Amino acid sequence: MATIPTGTQFVGISADVSIEEKRGSVIGSTTEIYTADDLLGLVVNTTTSALSLTTLNSTYATNPIGTRVVCRSISAGGLVYTKTAATAWVSQSVTAVS
């Protein structure tokens, strides 16, 4: 049976009943665990300027297709970027609800 380290934040238990730590480190299993944001494909970025294709591809290179990067603090207007292929993105304008 696995020992649970003190201070570990647990996300859940997999089908093979292994205890899994937050962000991919797993105790007693090879199963990878994802946070809710990973599963939803949602990333919040607090940048105040638009992101370039180069920045999106380097910052989110390992994120899966479908990942959404929410940048509501861009001074020229908020954007949500969606990864559509390994190195391709689309953006949508967004307005904060007040």
pLDDT tens digit sequence for 74-86? 999 999 999 999 9
Same domain, 26 and 68: no
Counts for the chain of helices (H) and strands (E), in that order = 2, 7
The pTM of the full predicted model, rounded to 2 decimals, is 0.62
| Segment 16-31 mean pLDDT | 48
Number of separate domains in the chain: 2
Same domain, 24 and 52: no
- Per the structure, the complete domain to which residue 73 belongs is given by 36-98
Mean pLDDT, the chain, integer: 76
pLDDT band at 41 (very low <50, low <70, confident <90, very high): confident
Same domain, 56 and 93: yes
Instruction: State how far the alpha carbon of 25 is from the alpha carbons of 29, 36, 43, 65, in Å.
Output: 9, 15, 20, 22
